[in-house]
Amino acid sequence: MSNQKRMFGLGKGLGSLIPKSSEPKVKTDNRENVFYVEINKIEANPDQPRQDFEGEALKELSNSIKKYGVLQPLLVSKVETETAKGLEVSYQLIAGERRLRASKLAGLPAVPVIIRDDLKNNSRRLEVALIENIQRKDLNPMEEAEAYEKLQQEFNLTQQEIATKVSKSREAVANALRLIKLSPDIKESLRSGLLSRTHARALLAFNDATMQKDVYNQILSGKLSTKEVEQIAASSKETNKGKIAINNKYSELARNLGDTLKVPVLIQATNDGGKIVIKFATLQELNKIAKNIID
């Protein structure tokens, strides 16, 4: 079978998609031509922004592809290599790695692609790959932030230029880029979904790394709301005026209390005392807390 075949309809059988001529037809309108390309001819994108491909979700997509086929073509560029046997043609993936992986898992021999012959330049291909992946809106927050950072570093783009290219506000791009400043363990939690984007942004309000880490640990164990994290951050900046602040020496005690009461506990200290905050969700949970304290 030829390396690439013109596709006339995604819903038809493979036989109906292969014309008599093995040469692709020239584009005659403004729509991009779609071809079927042998899956083993497509190389992964080395600059893929997405790093996490969750196994169960990939399996679900694979099952869907088995049933319905690949509904959205992959974006690739043609790579021509001179060999002893002549000109060898392969394709480098620009966007669609999740669909490519799922198609391989489904055992497909070929997948629909759009070939971008205008992307021979590696730099241009990287830029388009980053933008295409960001526009799909399914990257995790860290993957998105790192893609923006790469656009800044590799292409000297301003935040406004990036925002224009990906159809987002400059503020959205700026807020995403701020996540790069987080510590490695916090970024990893954000990447894995253990920490939400809103909690991560709230953590950025802490100038003190030790305090940021302490609140981060309490988010993971005590499930502080974003609003509570923001309030703690605001109050910590007023410690010299006697306002409420997190005191690191109470962290272990707060965790021990939380373990005993089976609910999130936060100890907030002031210059002249402090308070213990015990979180509960229902009246039943409050009754259990009261019983544990009384007993």
Just list the catalytic residues.
97
Q: What is the CA radius of gyration of the chain?
A: 26
* Centroid of chain to Cα 12: 34
* Coil/strand/helix, residue 86: strand
Instruction: Fill in the DSSP letter of residue 3.
Output: S
Following DSSP, what letter does each residue of 181-208 receive, concatenated?
Answer: GS-HHHHHHHHHTSS-HHHHHHHTT---
Give the pair of three-digit tokens for residue 125: 């291909």
Which residue is it, tokens 């939400």?
196
264 class by beta-carbon count within 10 Å (0-12 exposed, 13-18 middle, 19+ buried) = buried
Compute the CA torsion angle 70, 74, 79, 80 (nearest 10 deg).
Answer: 40
Give the pair of three-digit tokens for residue 138: 């399914």
Q: At what angle do helices 170-178 and 141-155 cross, to 10 degrees?
A: 100
Contacts of 127 (CB under 8 A, 6+ apart): 151, 154, 155
Identity of the residue numbered 197: R
Give the pair of three-digit tokens for residue 234: 């605001």
